[in-house]
Amino acid sequence: MTDKELVNLIDVLREKDIPGDEIIRIIRYIETHEPRENEPQIKGSSENN
C-alpha cells in the first residue's frame, strides 16, 4: 500500500467514525497479510501496473 493509499484509507475510516485504535488494527492487518493467490487484484493497484 502506498503512502497516498494509506492516507486515503485513514480519511475514509475517520469519516465513518472508526476509532483510531481500530484504524491501526486494520492497517496492521493489511500490511502484514499476504494476498491470497486466487484473490482478485484491485484494478489500478501498483502491483498490476
pLDDT, position 40:
63
Per DSSP, 49 falls in state: -
**Does 47 have pLDDT greater than 60?**
no
pLDDT, position 44:
59
**Does 48 have pLDDT greater than 60?**
no
Q: For residue 16, which phi and psi values (nearest 5 degrees)?
A: -90, 10
Tell me how far CA of residue 38 lies from CA of 6, 16, 42, in angstroms: 24, 30, 12
The letter for the amino acid at 12 is V
pTM score: 0.64
Grid cell at residue 43 = 484494478
Residues 11-41: tens digit of each pLDDT: 999 999 999 999 999 999 988 987 766 666 6
Tell me how far CA of residue 17 lies from CA of 4, 14, 42, in angstroms: 20, 5, 25
Grid cell at residue 39 = 484473490
**Does 4 have pLDDT greater than 80?**
yes
